[in-house]
Amino acid sequence: MDVLISVDMEGITGVADRSFVLEDQLNYSLGQTLMESDVNAAIEGALEAGAKTVYVTDAHNAGHNLRLTNLHPEAQLVTGSARPFPMIAGYEKVDVAMFVGYHARLGTSQAVLDHTYTSRLRLWINGTEAGESYMNSLLCGHKGVPVVLYTGDQALANEVNSFSPAAYNAVVKSSWGRSATASLHPTKSRELIKEKAIEALKAWQNGDIKPIKTTNPVEIKVEFIISEMAEQAAVLPGAKQLDPRTVISVQPDIEMGIRAFLSMIALAKAPLF
């Protein structure tokens, strides 16, 4: 059994606001330590459940957050920028995946640092509003890889239950606002994540958790906060601007759809005013 663990930062134990997730901010070093604690718990659970190989993909920002020397020695770290599908790099090489430190989609009430790739857009995939958890689960599912465990706040768990009710959740904190949280202590969080990782992988081995998939072709709809961003994104070949802030692109499958989405993000730059 080969396992991929995709690790974002906003849903990590104890992470409450931007100061934990931005490199130049006060609590970033603590955020790294907490991130490593959560992912090490997931690694331990995967190994105990029988994993042969564990890849850990650093999915936050440019992928330079996890420190290799602080990770479990049996895991392999996938790090660095300019990777295809950067949040789940390596998903085509594994049997099963777990998402650690994920967050709710933009616009979710009572969710820590909710966003969808940025705080400047909303995304729909075949008519379903999508956050990073759903989007990346569909990409994994396209290769037959189920995501069996998600860790983050209670808002993420509610979101996951809407599209993958059989998957396991480890709720490590509750939102008291977008930039405030009541969190488990890292010791308790490690115990919970490890326990849920073992349970989730055993459930998958028993056939209880299946890959999440969508139909083809795939319609990607992106709503930006201002019209100029939509105008820039609509330059993408095959894209169409529906209204001043909304662009759609129809692609043959989810991989091409997410490539289109990431290309739109790269094209759309918000002006300063």
Residue with tokens 């020695």: 73
| Average pLDDT rounded to a whole number, residues 6-27 | 97
Q: How far apart are CA 94 and CA 192, in angstroms?
A: 24
Q: Which residue is catalytic, options 64, 115, 142, 185?
A: 115
Q: How far apart are CA 230 and CA 246, in angstroms?
A: 6
| Average pLDDT rounded to a whole number, residues 174-178 | 96
Task: Give the pLDDT band of residue 72 (cuts 50, 70, 90).
Answer: very high
- Predicted local distance difference test score (pLDDT) of residue 83: 77
Which sequence spans correspond to the domains of the chain? 2-109+133-205, 218-267
- Predicted local distance difference test score (pLDDT) of residue 259: 96
Task: Give the pLDDT band of residue 86 (cuts 50, 70, 90).
Answer: very high
- In this model, does residue 272 exceed pLDDT 90? no
| Average pLDDT rounded to a whole number, residues 151-178 | 98
- In this model, does residue 81 exceed pLDDT 80? no
- Asked if omega into 165 is within 30° of 0 (cis), the reply is no
Q: How far apart are CA 70 and CA 233, in angstroms?
A: 39
| Average pLDDT rounded to a whole number, residues 224-246 | 97
Q: Considering Cα of 76, then 172, then 49, then 139, what sign does the dihedral take? A: negative
CATH class (in words) of the domain with range 218-267 = alpha beta
**Domain 2-109+133-205, CATH among 3.40.50.620, 3.10.129.10, 3.40.50.10780, 3.20.20.70:** 3.40.50.10780
Residue with tokens 């042969």: 52
Active-site annotation holds for 72: no
| Average pLDDT rounded to a whole number, residues 39-64 | 97
User: Element (H or E) spanning 28, and its range?
Assistant: helix 28-48
